[in-house]
A and B are shown apart, each in its own frame.
Chain A
Amino acid sequence: MTHPLPIETLVRRVARQVRLRRAEHAGVRGAFWGAAAAALLLVFRSPLGAVALALAAGLVAAGVLAGVAWGLARRVGARDAARVADRAFALDDRVATVLEWAERPDRTPLVDALVADTLARVEALEPRRMVERVSPREARWLPVPVLAGLVLLLAPPVPMPAGGLPDFLPSRGDEEREERSASTLLEERTRPLAKEPLKRAMLEERDFAQRAGASGAASAGDLAAIFKDTSLSGQRPDFNSFLKKGDERLKLLENVDRLPDLQSDFTSTTYKMVFRKSKALSSGLRPDQISPQKLRELLDEMERLGRKGGTWGGDAAEGMEALEGGETDKALQAMQKALDKMRAMDEAQRSGKGLRGGRERDRGARGRDRGRGEGVGPEDQDFGDTDGLLPGTGRSPLAKGEATARLRARPYDVGVEGESRRGRKDGYDTNLTGRGGTMGSRLQYLGVVGQYRKQMEDAIAREQIPREYHDQIKEYFQALDER
């Protein structure tokens, strides 16, 4: 079956319009470039004479003709024309489908219905412009070469240089004069600026010290006179240390990475995201019901994040190994460990401990100082790793430390004292001091409560605990905090 005549006619009409529009478009472009060439030619019209005018007109005409010919010569595919017609008349791709399916051997009976339907619609169409006119960029600039050509045409011919070139070389005297003036300028430019004698801080201090000395006579406005009855009167101001400290503070400000990041959104941290994923992965499921693929993806993601500066990468890798060996339980434990570390790092960052520099850098030194009896605040302790916090899991062979004197100040105080423990995994062994120190407990209250709170949150997330109980459980732990 061939395409019905009205459809073919429509497609041909669209193709013709496309070609005409192309010809217009290319014709304008050709006119611009032809006019530009003609204007250039008119600049040199004095040697060419009257021929220049004819040549310029010829160039413009040639540009227009070349563009039009190029636009008309380019073929327009029937399918492209059909799609343009479909869009122009809102025919919902009917014409393009008919054109493609009417001659196919595997055509279905519905194609006949489609052809009939399309034919009826095409016959009812009123002929109108289907392809929009598109102005080329050159159309805006076309007046420029045209006007330039007209101006050049009306103006007297531009004089062209004849014979030899004029002698642009300067005379010897001028040259010397110029050299002299140039050398003067050069000297002025290269002469170093006279250095102003800088007053050093030490000199100023010496002057001040002479005036502010204890033996010197007090003059009006002298600071020593104000502080003469105090211990400060005998002290010399140390400007050097002030300047040094000032310098250090300024340098600190330059290290942007050490300044606290006040603009971070801690509600959508990496830990939160990973925790949410792990919750989604394991909520309400036993270990044997968890998709290993999803668990692997999560561990893989955690390992990737760990490589960017986290300490949990090893645990994630262990988890992946366990998963490869089919040990889902171990993999889940490893994931939990990694999560704990992420949480610890997250909390540390949130409280400002994550800032590089000061505290973190000093931590190693403080750890060494602990052996010499210096007190350690609870904020210096790292609870990220769970080893060593539960009874019997500590591996330190060292004797537990004694309570500090400060903690013994009141016999009813119950405090904690501990020592950091170096090893494959850094840990922290603690002793209970005060009244409870005589008892066998070697656990730190805050650490244990924190750990149980963590387990409680995981249990709420993982196990099917009725929603009504969630708040009660959380309130209980909150009450423990307040005590």
Chain B
Amino acid sequence: MGQEERAREFVGAFQALRAEVEKVIVGHGEIITHVLTGMFAGGHILLEGVPGLGKTLLIKTLAEGLELSFSRIQFTPDLMPADIVGTNIIVEDADGRKHFQFQHGPIFAHILLADEINRATPKTQSALLEGMQEGAVTVGGASRPLPAPFFVLATQNPIEMEGTYPLPEAQLDRFFFKLRVRYPALEELNAIIDRTTQARQVAVNRVLSGPTVLGFRELIREVPIASHVRDFASAIVMATHPQWDQAPEVARRFVRYGASPRGAQALVLGAKVRALAEGRYNVSVDDIKALAAPALRHRIILNFEGEAEGVDTDTLVGQIVESVEAAAVERKEVFLR
């Protein structure tokens, strides 16, 4: 099968999976697209929103649409790391000899739903770190690989709420995208009521298997990107650093730490998925602009002034993108702008 054929197959699979999720989830079209983008790019997604907006349902529906194992962990303050990764237990064999046997934790699944991740203590939250980055966990000195593809979808309540523990920066950085689930519009709310208060059940079909997802992940990395588009992505990430000599005024004023190189990777990989899903074989500047907020909003740490002024990171990222674009245009002569 040629690459063009495979690319077309990817577009079909993307649309089909999206359609299956939309059978259950009303609205949140952009969120669904970004979740699928993150999954095909091989990243993990953090969904943030107040309770009751359908975050968990979205992830469960996505898992139903994939032929992959799924497990869910409800994070609570008394959850321990061993409850996630598993532990060695003593078992007795037929001869009566006792030995340690590893009891797999719920992390050993293709799709892991970490529900309300910021209700657990930082120690337990950190139990996910190695698994998310390396695709393996170390228990009792032995490294155990996680099944591939491994995909963490975490939900969290806004950190201002009671009884929450903010995720450490190191763990936030391991999330490919952070998506903000917003309250539905009036029409969407009406549709939710109609769909969820009637007797009919919606069946979600399984449209994708694990190996297919892995194959698409390889295909996505082959999407070419022009150097000026890559430079644009790099300039956006660099512009989030107040120390950079070309950083815009907003970054110098409100940002303490800018996005890491993982942010740039997420930006470009996400843009590749977006391009391919839209039937293009190359990344455009618009792809980068569209994904700047989900890829960078959780990687920018505001300084004291930024927090005191209540600066919204989405607005900040938007202003940074605008300033980078304006600077790029400014450098060009009038006939090449």
Is B162 a contact partner of A467 (Cβ separation < 8 A)?
A: yes
* A interface residues, how many (CB within 8 angstroms): 40
Is B226 a contact of A112 with CB atoms below 8 Å? no
With A93-B282, A97-B225, A134-B335 known to touch, is A464 a contact of B163 (CB < 8 Å)?
A: yes
Are A92's CB and B284's CB within 8 A?
yes
- Given A93-B229, A97-B226, A289-B122, is A110 in contact with B285 using a C-beta cutoff of 8 Å? no
Q: A151-181 vs B: 1/0 string, CB under 8 Å? A: 0000000000000000000000000000000
B282 in contact with A97 (CB, 8 Å): yes
Given known A-B contacts A93-B282, A93-B283, A97-B225, A110 and B7 have beta carbons under 8 A apart: yes
Tell me whether B140 is interfacial, beta carbon within 8 Å.
no
Complex CA distance for A116 and B8, rounded to whole angstroms = 14
B3 an interface residue at 8 Å Cβ cutoff?
Answer: yes
Known: A110-B3, A116-B4. A284 touches B165 (CB 8 A): yes
Q: Are A22 and B335 in contact (CB under 8 A)?
A: yes
**Residue in A closest to B121 when the chains form the complex, CB atoms:** A289
Name the residue of chain B whose CB is nearest to the CB of A301: B304
- Which among B7, B168, B307, B336 is the interface contact of A113 at CB below 8 angstroms? B7
Q: Mark A220-238, 1 if CB is under 8 A from B, else 0.
A: 0000000000000000000
A84 at the interface (CB under 8 A from B): yes
Chain A residues whose C-beta falls within 8 Å of the C-beta of B334 in the assembled complex = 25, 134
Tell me which of A25, A117, A268 contacts B308 (CB under 8 A).
A268
In the bound complex, CA of A291 to CA of B301 (Å) = 15
| Interface residue A337 (Cβ < 8 Å from any Cβ of B) | no
Contact of A80 with B336 at beta-carbon distance under 8 Å, contacts A97-B282, A114-B281 already known: yes
Tell whether A97 pairs with B222 under 8 Å between CB atoms, given A18-B336, A109-B2, A114-B282: no
- Near B by CB (< 8 A), chain A positions 264-313 give 268, 273, 277, 280, 284-285, 289, 291, 301
* A110 and B308 form a contact (CB under 8 A): no
**Which residue in A80, A110, A134 is a CB contact (below 8 Å) of B224?**
A110
* Interface: A139 (CB within 8 A): no
Q: Does A108 contact B (CB under 8 A)?
A: yes
- Taken together as a complex, chains A and B put the C-alpha atoms of A80 and B331 apart, in Å, by 12
Q: Given the complex, which residues of A lie within 8 Å of B249, measured CB to CB?
A: none
Residues from 204 to 242 in B contacting A, C-beta threshold 8 Å: 219, 222-229
Contact with A along B1-35 (1 / 0, CB 8 A): 01110010000000000000000000000000000
A472 CA to B39 CA, complexed, in Å: 48
Shortest CB distance A29–B (Å): 12
Cβ of A109 and Cβ of B226 under 8 Å apart? no
User: Is the pair A284, B122 in contact by a Cβ cutoff of 8 Å?
Assistant: no
- Judged by a CB distance under 8 angstroms, whether A38 is at the interface is no
Q: How far is the CB of B5 from chain A (nearest CB, A)?
A: 9
Q: How far is the CA of A160 from the CA of B276 in the complex (A)?
A: 77
Given A18-B335, A18-B336, A273-B308, verify A117-B281 contact (CB < 8 Å).
yes
On whether the beta carbons of B336 and A84 are closer than 8 Å, the reply is: yes
Q: Is A449 positioned at the interface, with any CB of B under 8 Å from its CB?
A: no
Please give, as numbers and ranges, the residues of chain B lying within 8 Å of A277 by CB-CB distance.
304, 307
Interface residues of A in 46-73 (CB under 8 A from B): none
A84 to chain B, nearest CB (A): 6
CB-contact partner of B336 in A83, A107, A110, A111, under 8 A: A83
| In the complex, B322 has a CB within 8 A of chain A | no
**Would you give the 0/1 interface string for A329-359, flagging 1 where the beta carbon is closer than 8 Å to chain B?**
0000000000000000000000000000000
Cα of A370 to Cα of B10 in the assembled complex, Å: 86
Question: Which residues of A have CB within 8 Å of B307?
Answer: 273, 277
Q: Tell yes or no: B262 within 8 A of A by CB.
A: no
CB distance from B255 to the nearest CB of A (A): 14
Flag whether B188 is at the interface (Cβ < 8 A).
no
B257 to chain A, nearest CB (A): 11
A84 to chain B: closest residue by CB: B336
Cβ of B94 to closest chain A Cβ, rounded Å: 45
| Chain A, Cβ-Cβ closest to B224 | A101
**A442 touches B (CB below 8 Å):** no
Measured between beta carbons, the chain A residues less than 8 angstroms from B227 are: 100
A contact residues around B282 at 8 Å (CB) = 92-94, 97-98, 101, 114
Of all chain B residues, the one with the shortest Cβ separation from A113 is B4
In the bound complex, residues from chain A placing their C-beta under 8 Å from that of B121 are: 289
CA distance A98 to B284 in the complex (A): 12
- Report A-chain residues with C-beta under 8 Å of the C-beta of B284: 92-94
**Is there a chain B Cβ closer than 8 Å to A45's Cβ?**
no
**B168: A residues at CB distance < 8 A:** 291
The proximity string for A residues 459-480 relative to B, scoring 1 for CB distances below 8 Å and 0 otherwise, is 0000010010000000000000
Q: A112-B3, A273-B308 are in contact. Are A94 and B335 (CB under 8 A)?
A: no
Supposing A21-B335, A100-B226, A110-B223 touch, asked if A92 and B286 sit within 8 A by C-beta, the answer is yes
B30-64 interface with A by 8 A CB criterion:
none
With contact pairs A110-B3, A112-B3 given, residues A273 and B304 touching in the complex (Cβ less than 8 Å): yes
Contact present for B226 and A93 (CB under 8 Å): yes
In the complex, what residues of A have CB within 8 A of residue B7's CB? 110, 113
The docked-state distance in angstroms from the alpha carbon of A110 to that of B216 is: 13
Residue A122 interfacial (CB < 8 Å) = no
Q: In the complex, A113 Cα to B224 Cα: how many Å?
A: 11
Residue B280 interfacial (CB < 8 Å): yes
Chain A residue numbers with a CB within 8 Å of B2 are 109, 113
| A10 shortest CB reach to chain B, Å | 16
Query: Among the interface residues B4, B162, B281, which one has the most CB atoms of the partner chain A within 10 A?
Result: B281
The CB with the most chain A CB atoms within 10 A, among B223, B284, B335, is that of: B335
Within A245-274, the residues touching B (CB, 8 Å) are 268, 273
Given A84-B336, A464-B163, A96-B122 contact (CB < 8 Å): no
Task: Give the CA-CA distance A244 to B284 in the complex, in Å.
Answer: 77
Question: Does B3 lie within 8 Å of A109, measured CB to CB?
Answer: yes
In chain B, positions 278-337 with a C-beta closer than 8 Å to chain A are 280-286, 304, 307-308, 332, 334-336
A79 to B228, CA, bound (A): 9
Q: Is the C-beta of A37 less than 8 angstroms from some C-beta in chain B?
A: no
Residues of chain A from 82 to 126 with CB closer than 8 A to chain B in the complex: 83-84, 92-94, 96-98, 100-101, 107-114, 116-117
| A131 contacts chain B at the CB level, 8 A cutoff | yes
* B contact residues around A80 at 8 Å (CB): 332, 336
CB nearest neighbor in A for B222: A108
Bound-state CA distance A268–B309 (Å) is 9
Interface string of A10-50 (1 = CB under 8 A from B): 00000000100110010000000000000000000000000
A113 to B223 CA separation, bound complex (whole angstroms): 10
Which residues of A pack against B, CB within 8 Å?
18, 21-22, 25, 76, 79-80, 83-84, 92-94, 96-98, 100-101, 107-114, 116-117, 131, 134, 268, 273, 277, 280, 284-285, 289, 291, 301, 464, 467
The 20 sampled A-B contact pairs (Cβ below 8 Å) are A22-B335, A25-B334, A83-B228, A92-B280, A92-B282, A93-B285, A94-B280, A101-B226, A101-B282, A107-B224, A110-B222, A111-B281, A114-B224, A117-B280, A117-B281, A134-B334, A289-B121, A291-B168, A464-B162, A467-B162
5 shortest interchain CB distances as A-B pairs: A114-B281, A108-B222, A109-B3, A97-B282, A113-B4
Q: Besides the contacts A97-B224, A97-B225, A110-B4, what 12 more A-B pairs have beta carbons closer than 8 Å?
A: A18-B335, A79-B228, A92-B286, A93-B228, A96-B226, A97-B283, A101-B226, A108-B223, A110-B7, A111-B281, A113-B7, A134-B335
